[in-house]
Structure 1
């Protein structure tokens, strides 16, 4: 295409000789800004040593790593890194928010009494040796031709890729704080594994050469499949719902002819609605030159699915190249391809898959740009078009998302690797198994969803898959019940080795329990079975996992309900013939999962500033929760209600839209359906004792979703995700600004307080009471405590609101006042109400006074009695308006705002 000049100031400057003079001036002015902010923060720290429990020495050595100006709030977020003798202390990043040259918000993450905890200032281990020892410890192979490429002073180096990394390997000295309170000199190095799954950020002892700690920039959302904690709530039929495509307000587009046939928002997946041909999709503020530009001149550099924000490509050979196949829309940029997923291989619809992945990545970029994930905040762009932060020099662009569709590096998974600002992130979207059992004979004839197994060589998600995946091993045979020589013969746990009759050539039905999945399936296989169906012993199905290299027949699980019907029919001598098969579901069609993965990039870049991508390594970190929220927020429909259940990944995991998806509970404000509170954090342990980051994150996302609906109830819903003013838009803004205020290594309390602070910056604190009510309802009240944020078992739950002096400047007529776990006793519905309102109780409340007050404090209803079960109050005589419902006795003081329509 022929290009035309656009006379934006920054483009004119880029085209003549004053560019270097301008940048030099900006660079000089940036040092003035740094110096000014240095002085302000230094003074603030010295005046608040007692508040932060620091010594004068602790507050003396530090450097500014990021300064982020927020257009939404007109404040500057400054992130400072603690150092000792010029060497940074790992993750000791404190954040300060400045307005009118004053600190208005601050959170400290410095190590206290640092000097007394340092073990040494001189390394023994050489940086080159550190790389070879880390490569050996992580089983990455032996580095080949390891060479020093660049030396950055006396303590920072860059080495060659050496056959173990996709990127050059940076190494620098840092101090690593440890759980025992000591701080050890370490080499920090980054190795991006060749498979693209892990991007290791490792700290190795600079004296002894042992790994002290490591984290992974590549957040792999394997949803705990290998541990057997991923449950499906199977439905006998899927009920696709047609969702309207909401028109989004935009300015005049440069590329009005560009067209993309995609699952356009708010459609979440093929189960939620149909594709539509969308034109002029880019937002001119976030993507001023369209989605296919990289140089800032009208006219795209690329006619394939590549541009300034994302390069979406095929990676079906798992080579992680950046020159993979990508569909070409031609000079008119028309990406309109036929889609037929009916028993077709994924390769047949790769153009549709890549196009949808390209679309959703760009939409995520453009939507969240409006709320503050922009250039100065470390967003993902190849070219910042001159809008990068003046205090980060040289410009930190060149980091568009590399998005791999139909990635062959795994199954039933997705991941996102987020390096610091200026380095290219990578999203990998995999295929998911969709297994079907077709019963061809008998009274149960029909098709039923099932769950395939996921065995691996050593039982972890990091190793090659073993067993007999159903997509490669479909099987047809008659069913037979397992019948070994044990007291519970259907469990298939015999260890005698004696032959079991009647299994030859059959698909064997076995009940879950008593012994491992591997042993059950191996027993059936050794006796001639051609397949195994395991009947679950609880709700839903389970993706069976474990370590094995010896299983060669397919094995699936079914629900307890369906299994009981099959067992009954077989016990009555009915012949049941089944066909077990699987096709692939494409994760790139699940907009919720794509948004979730992109969300990891947002949270990692915003917390602690774009220069630090390591702020969420602690056990109480909330990254998975923010990501779930991002996906749900952009896929809302105008007719949604707060009690509607929202699963995550229901399409990819083969569920109906009413399923839980890949989470324990679906998201809803109804606590009878999603009962999560802060106290459940301590229960989020995996079988190996490690924390389930998905479990912890799901609790946080539950609270954010409650807040989302609280704000919608106040301000209404606006379908315009870019320029809307509804409660949903306000919550999206609170979340983004809150991430900028969240301290490094934060838990629930730090994140809660950051959202409260964001409300003061964005809306002058207008929503303080509403925010407190939401968090208090889920146990994250004023007296709650995270304890050690690197532990997930020491939280203190509280349902209380702040005292009056804290909320004295806000109108909290409907503020809750509760003690203990009172909020868990009550469910008030419907709210808003019309003719009646119900109070549902989990336990009996003796001698309680139930009263309703109008907005002026006048009592309009009162009743004293014992409360149990469900109590109904007639509200026909109440006028339309806002009321306060109060329930009191000797130990309970509960109040809740209700609305009468």
Structure 2
């Protein structure tokens, strides 16, 4: 089983058990970032309380929802330190559907880091903490303590066993809390519901020492018949894990199912208050199908009832006579749901009429649920239902309505844990009267559940424990409203709880006075809370104020008997009060409660009822000048009966070209009429529209007449947009800077430079803009009108804004040496003054003096946290003050120029008089119900007791008056100025060139071969020639292009002729000499020898020729020349010899025999006969 702690942990942006249906989740996610920014911005404006950045950025969301009646998005936050939540440090912000902030509340601790004291990790474990709490309350632990469940390790959240001291398991969670000394210490937060049912203590046990830091009894026991008080409790109970039900799609209409869902109940039906005020009637069809779509006896969201007795989705009614806090008997209506039982209104132990009493309690508990559902107390906001039917919030928290509870008598209570945990109502008997028949008391008790769940968010049940909280008042109020009837009047006397305490129907009731708008019957005013018993006496004063307001609304709108859908003053009152509960801060006081109702009126009715609301509260001392002081005290307030002065603040200026401005406001109090040039009142008492064009150029007065009486006016300036300024362009080379200049039409105006023609980014402010563009760039010059001077009074009208500093005395003469009391003016954050500001004078309220004295005003600038080391003196002025200034606002001329964004600290003090130093400021304890003069005895250097000194209307005044400036709304036309990158092409000059092919038949040229002195003003980045490669096919004259590119990318070209030549001769082989046989004539024909040899060339195959040519008749030896010639005429030769060989013998003719005469010796001589021979070959 899982358990839910009373203050559950919720991490940022994770809405655990808070948004259970997709539509709301998407809405939340889409808006949450903007809201968180608004949270920080809004809370930072309260820097006068010395908040640091870390103070405001560390928080968790505890709950959020969108109001079903107003559409306001309510978000609730808790401050953290090192991820651990700080008990009681609560904040909230409330955003209207149009995005406007309706209300914001900051209860965070300022300068948190400085206030952390003690260990940052617990020395005690959860069981030690429970034992320490038991010891403090003298509970005897009779069962062993053990941890049943670790709910969350990261956030140190545990469930501890009952230990014989608690009726339910004990939730324990590690937190921080600020103690009465202002220190923030680590604590274990736990609660124990004692077995006797007399107390439900919530403890904060120091996690280091085990000492008690804080203890609150959520159950206050008072006897109605004695002090006319009663008890109420805030319970931290066990919860069942929530099942998220889908929205049921029904086959039939609700009306068709109605007969199956509805019951019959014999009761003192609404608006009958008790048996003293009317009889019982048998009612049927009383279930409201908007609030209880499946009737009062359904829990599963399907047609048909789950229970035929007094139990259903909204309430489980039973008796607890035995005081066991467990269900006893119920009222059983059977299958027909007929709850018609006899009754004896004179109660006795022997004649309790339990079925009838339980039926009445069941009926009224459901009636309250259904009625307040119409006014915004629904599932998403944390109402009480077993099944939320997929509509948001946490479920499993129907009301346990215990009739004739045995825990006490003449009393009643309502226990309200966080959403998702079961609440409990306990009704008692008182002598012979049964509280279950006193319907105003039933509503009253249920009202505690309403106010607890709605104040501070549905998951925070600890926001109504401060002394000035008005819980009892809201409960009386709901009891009164739901029992109003036709014929009632405001001046009539209305007692509350008359039946229970044995009075007649027209009895005075249980409060000091019955409720009546007649001051002679009920004289309550705000000051009564100072001495009234808290919480009931305090609450009754608040209830009287709400009653006064209700009758003011009824006087205006009438009384409507339709409590669900009516439009009467009573309906409006219920809407305002219920919505205001969501808007007010945790631990509210009367002023914050009043302001929440005023804000609710703006959210719900556009402020139509502001005058009625102010009249009612002012009549009872909660007028405009009333102050509540600390809400932890009910003795420090100041009442006032004045109405708010009529005021109006118009927008400073518009541009004549702007469209009609709608939804403008500014008149206070709301509910008036606006008029003036170009003004159209919207007729809703809240807003108007303004047409600058219709009004025309110039200053126009807008008048606001309040329905409360009085009027106010303010002026709006309509200006004309300036024409585009005159500009000069410029050009540049890459890497250079360029300066563009714009001349405004009016020398009093300035020039702003942007990167786009509309919108865009601001680049520079000034007439000349110098930059280094990477390429051609256009920028846009806009003439900006001079800021409009406005007279401004910066006023802190809340005395809580006075800071408390240290006090020191000088060397025996009472001189002021360190800051004492000051007030912080965050001009930008608090007042929207974002430009320079000239302070001309300051003001402070003077209460009463008996002799002349001087006062010194000092103005400091603040940097960082609010302490003397972060203050820098800007100006100081001393003035003489006389008793004639008593009760007035003292003006002190002081001139100082404040740069934009400066946080100014104003300090007022007097020099020593009679050994004392007097200073204006607030109580050092932070109780700021009135202004104080602090007397410091320099001999002991300690502040003496502080005394309030009256004049409530002026005591809080500390103003700064000066001249501020607001931006002129007119946007001038923009002129385009261009930084032109150089666009002049370079000068390209080319020359012809001859190139020879290489042995591979290739050749290239470069830009250097072709360039003949190209140039550029910004420099040449590159040159290229094309084509730059040649082969044999390109032999001859080729045209090439020289491309020249400068540093800006500009290009120019020139052409040239490239002559491609081949001067490489071919290569040819060789042949050996050839021998051939000649013919008979020794001749031979020369063969073709070119095929016997090869030749190559760099440009193709050369041609081979032979000389002598083939076929030539040759003889003997002939030299042959072979020539290889390429296409370019280049040639090469080789030679060899051809030799003719003769193989035919020659022929010779025969010569006749010759006779030779011999000589004497018979010898003769042979003659030469060769000449005789004929030889051929």
TM-score (norm 2): 0.51
**Would you say the 8 A contact 1:132–1:143 is kept in 2?**
no
> In the alignment, what sits opposite 1:730?
572
Aligned equivalents of 1:408 and 1:801: distance in 2? 49
> In the alignment, what sits opposite 2:362?
358
**Would you say the 8 A contact 1:45–1:59 is kept in 2?**
no
> In the alignment, what sits opposite 1:212?
213
> In the alignment, what sits opposite 1:594?
442
Q: 1:195 to 1:787 in 2, by over 3 A?
A: same
> In the alignment, what sits opposite 1:60?
57
Matches within 5 A, 1:445-460: none
> In the alignment, what sits opposite 2:453?
605
Aligned equivalents of 2:366 and 2:385: distance in 1? 10
Report Cα offsets for 1:721-768 as digits up to 9, x if no partner: 111110000000000000000100111011000000000000000011
> In the alignment, what sits opposite 1:464?
none
**Cα drift, residue 25 of structure 1:** 6.0
SS at match of 1:212: strand
> In the alignment, what sits opposite 1:262?
267
> In the alignment, what sits opposite 1:308?
313
**Would you say the 8 A contact 1:259–1:335 is kept in 2?**
yes
SS at match of 1:91: strand
**Cα drift, residue 183 of structure 1:** 1.6
SS at match of 2:73: strand
**Cα drift, residue 47 of structure 1:** 5.0
Determine which structure has the larger strand proportion and give its number: 2
SS at match of 1:720: coil
SS at match of 2:92: strand
The answer to whether 1:719 aligns with 2:581 is no
**Would you say the 8 A contact 1:257–1:332 is kept in 2?**
no
> In the alignment, what sits opposite 1:191?
192
**Cα drift, residue 415 of structure 1:** 0.7
The answer to whether 1:41 aligns with 2:38 is yes
Aligned equivalents of 2:208 and 2:708: distance in 1? 59
SS at match of 1:290: coil
> In the alignment, what sits opposite 1:174?
175
SS at match of 1:375: coil
Aligned equivalents of 2:423 and 2:435: distance in 1? 18
**Cα drift, residue 170 of structure 1:** 1.1
Aligned equivalents of 1:377 and 1:745: distance in 2? 18
SS at match of 2:475: helix
**Would you say the 8 A contact 1:44–1:103 is kept in 2?**
no
**Cα drift, residue 37 of structure 1:** 4.9
Select which of 624, 641, 645 maps to 1:782: 624
Select between 645-654 and 211-220 the one with higher mean Cα deviation.
211-220
Aligned equivalents of 2:307 and 2:376: distance in 1? 27
The answer to whether 1:97 aligns with 2:94 is yes
**Cα drift, residue 665 of structure 1:** 0.2
> In the alignment, what sits opposite 2:504?
656
Aligned equivalents of 1:816 and 1:180: distance in 2? 46
SS at match of 1:621: coil
> In the alignment, what sits opposite 2:70?
73
Report Cα offsets for 1:353-397 as digits up to 9, x if no partner: 1110100000000000000000011000011011114xxxxxx10
**Would you say the 8 A contact 1:679–1:796 is kept in 2?**
yes
Matches within 5 A, 1:89-128: 89-99=86-96, 100-120=98-118, 121-128=120-127
Select which of 280, 288, 300 maps to 1:283: 288
**Would you say the 8 A contact 1:603–1:623 is kept in 2?**
yes
**Would you say the 8 A contact 1:63–1:83 is kept in 2?**
yes
**Would you say the 8 A contact 1:135–1:143 is kept in 2?**
no
**Would you say the 8 A contact 2:103–2:596 is kept in 1?**
no
Aligned equivalents of 2:576 and 2:507: distance in 1? 28
**Would you say the 8 A contact 2:608–2:670 is kept in 1?**
no
Q: 1:669 to 1:89 in 2, by over 3 A?
A: same
Select which of 510, 516, 520 maps to 1:668: 516
Q: 1:662 to 1:808 in 2, by over 3 A?
A: closer
Aligned equivalents of 1:315 and 1:46: distance in 2? 48
How many residue pairs get aligned? The number is 616
**Cα drift, residue 43 of structure 1:** 4.4
SS at match of 2:353: helix
**Cα drift, residue 178 of structure 1:** 2.2
Aligned equivalents of 2:105 and 2:324: distance in 1? 42
Bigger relative contact order (CA 8 A; separation at least 6): 1
Select which of 584, 599, 609 maps to 1:767: 609
Q: 1:665 to 1:809 in 2, by over 3 A?
A: closer
> In the alignment, what sits opposite 1:703?
545
Q: 1:269 to 1:604 in 2, by over 3 A?
A: same
Bigger Rg, structure 1 or 2: 2
Aligned equivalents of 1:117 and 1:143: distance in 2? 39
Matches within 5 A, 1:552-631: 584-631=432-479
**Cα drift, residue 101 of structure 1:** 4.3
**Cα drift, residue 24 of structure 1:** 9.2
Aligned equivalents of 2:442 and 2:263: distance in 1? 22
The answer to whether 1:374 aligns with 2:373 is no
Q: 1:23 to 1:684 in 2, by over 3 A?
A: closer
Aligned equivalents of 2:221 and 2:300: distance in 1? 32
**Would you say the 8 A contact 1:46–1:56 is kept in 2?**
no
Report Cα offsets for 1:190-235 as digits up to 9, x if no partner: 222334443322111112212221223445563483x6989xxxxx
Aligned equivalents of 2:262 and 2:24: distance in 1? 40
**Would you say the 8 A contact 1:190–1:200 is kept in 2?**
yes
> In the alignment, what sits opposite 2:1164?
none
Select between 91-100 and 157-166 the one with higher mean Cα deviation.
157-166
Report Cα offsets for 1:5-54 as digits up to 9, x if no partner: xxxxxxxxxxxxxxx9x979679747735752554335424652436652
**Cα drift, residue 345 of structure 1:** 3.7
Q: 1:199 to 1:73 in 2, by over 3 A?
A: same
Q: 1:94 to 1:224 in 2, by over 3 A?
A: farther
Select between 27-36 and 791-800 the one with higher mean Cα deviation.
27-36
**Cα drift, residue 614 of structure 1:** 0.3
Aligned equivalents of 2:229 and 2:455: distance in 1? 29
The answer to whether 1:748 aligns with 2:590 is yes
The answer to whether 1:337 aligns with 2:341 is yes
SS at match of 1:58: helix
**Would you say the 8 A contact 1:647–1:662 is kept in 2?**
yes
Q: 1:696 to 1:292 in 2, by over 3 A?
A: same
Aligned equivalents of 1:605 and 1:652: distance in 2? 26
Q: 1:343 to 1:183 in 2, by over 3 A?
A: closer
Aligned equivalents of 1:229 and 1:404: distance in 2? 20
Q: 1:587 to 1:65 in 2, by over 3 A?
A: same
Aligned equivalents of 1:211 and 1:143: distance in 2? 22
Q: 1:741 to 1:228 in 2, by over 3 A?
A: closer
Aligned equivalents of 1:190 and 1:745: distance in 2? 20
**Cα drift, residue 596 of structure 1:** 0.4
> In the alignment, what sits opposite 1:411?
409
Q: Which runs of 5+ in 2 are unaligned?
A: 1-16, 231-253, 648-666, 673-705, 712-950, 954-1177
Report Cα offsets for 1:527-559 as digits up to 9, x if no partner: xxxxxxxxxxxxxxxxxxxxxxxxxxxxxxxxx
SS at match of 1:59: helix
> In the alignment, what sits opposite 1:145?
144
Matches within 5 A, 1:424-435: 424-433=422-431
Determine which structure has the larger helix proportion and give its number: 1
